[in-house]
Amino acid sequence: MHPLVKLAKETVEKYVRKGEINSPPDDLYPEMTEKAGVFVSIKKNRQLRGCIGTFSPSAENVAKEIVQNAISAATQDPRFLPVNLSELDELEYSVDVLSPPEKVKSPDDLSPERYGIIVKKGNLRGLLLPDLEGINTVDEQIRIASLKAGISPDEDVELYRFEVRRYR
């Protein structure tokens, strides 16, 4: 298990078991020291169980970003009830470290396998990670990200793309 994924797993388990917030290790792996947006995804039986993240860094490093987003993915994702003790052994984790978003001129600059997207209309924003099962076209990506943001799919939006390093 990659150290970033191990940190996410240990953080969720400690929080669910004891209500305590995990501290990142003192000796950080190189990937943990950078500043970047991070998403933590939790799956149970190959189905999404929680996913929360930040598209730009809100903590001093990736390790601290993982700790806060792992707890949020397990307890604050509005689509799911909080993770409970009885399901901890069934959970699988992945951590996505995001590159800084870049504005694109058109959907032609996107690829659902390679790039995640951010759609923006005024103060509304929706994000979708890349390479998600069942999302095979740019139009699907834009539609889903728009709906997540509360933007009608037929409205014009600003488009941003980013890449991820995915750890499992």
Q: What is the mean pLDDT of residues 52-78?
A: 97
User: How many folded domains does the chain comprise?
Assistant: 2
Q: What is the mean pLDDT of residues 142-154?
A: 95
Both 88 and 156 in one domain: the answer is no
Strands 47-53 and 124-128 turn out to be unpaired
pLDDT value at residue 44 = 98
Where is the domain boundary, 98, 126, 159? 98
Q: What is the CATH number of the domain that holds 117?
A: 3.30.1490.150
Range of the domain at 51: 3-98
pLDDT value at residue 38 = 98
Question: Taking 90 as the threshold, does the pLDDT of residue 153 lie above it?
Answer: no
Both 33 and 58 in one domain: the answer is yes
Residues 104-131 pLDDT 10s: 999 999 999 999 999 999 999 999 999 9
Question: Taking 90 as the threshold, does the pLDDT of residue 45 lie above it?
Answer: yes
Bridge partner list, 104: 159
Both 90 and 7 in one domain: the answer is yes
Q: What is the mean pLDDT of residues 160-167?
A: 98
Both 89 and 107 in one domain: the answer is no
d(CA 8, CA 24): 10
Both 28 and 90 in one domain: the answer is yes
Q: What is the mean pLDDT of residues 91-96?
A: 98
Where is the domain boundary, 44, 71, 98? 98
Phi, psi of 57 (to 5 degrees): -65, 140
Both 108 and 58 in one domain: the answer is no
Question: Taking 90 as the threshold, does the pLDDT of residue 94 lie above it?
Answer: yes
Both 66 and 85 in one domain: the answer is yes
d(CA 49, CA 23): 23
pLDDT value at residue 92 = 98
Q: What is the chain's mean pLDDT, rounded?
A: 97
Question: Taking 90 as the threshold, does the pLDDT of residue 144 lie above it?
Answer: yes
Rounded to the nearest 10 degrees, how much is the dihedral formed by the CA atoms of 96, 147, 77, 131?
-20
Where is the domain boundary, 98, 121, 155? 98
Q: What is the CATH number of the domain that holds 30?
A: 3.30.700.20
d(CA 94, CA 168): 5
Bridge partner list, 95: 40, 167
Q: What is the mean pLDDT of residues 146-150?
A: 96
Contacts of 86 by beta carbon, 8 Å cutoff, 6+ apart: none
Structure token digits, residue 63? 């390790």
Both 27 and 88 in one domain: the answer is yes
Both 20 and 93 in one domain: the answer is yes
